Amino acid sequence: MKERNDILDAVYQVVQDRKQNPSEKSYVASLYAKGLDKILGKIGEEATEVAVAGKGGEVDEVVSEVADLWFHTLVLLSYYDLPPEKIYAELERRFGLSGLEEKASRTS
């Protein structure tokens, strides 16, 4: 399997720093100040924008919106102090499994 890129880890570390050392100039700090519902709302908003971009078929738009979604997802992970490594491990656990089999294993 190809090695993963470290950019998600690097962004996560910056998000964690903004959480621990808030500044009035920090977008991340402003999200944390507004609370979990604001963070979740941003994830919902960005997911919708990904779907709209996907429907529109503009590749650059899809890339931009997915980057926004991943960023806000990293903010949520940081909210719970869950490093991206936890997600990598879960994806690695699922790798090679049929999606249908994996989903069935969670419901039984």
All domains in the chain, ordered by first residue: 7-82 (1.10.287.1080)
pLDDT tens digit sequence for 3-57: 556 899 999 999 999 999 999 999 999 999 999 999 999 999 999 999 999 999 9
Residue 61: the pLDDT is: 98
Burial class (CB in 10 A: 0-12, 13-18, 19+), 15: buried
Kindly tell me the sign of the dihedral angle through the C-alpha atoms of 35, 38, 40, 43: negative
pLDDT tens digit sequence for 75-100: 999 999 999 999 999 999 999 877 67
pTM reported for the whole predicted model? 0.85
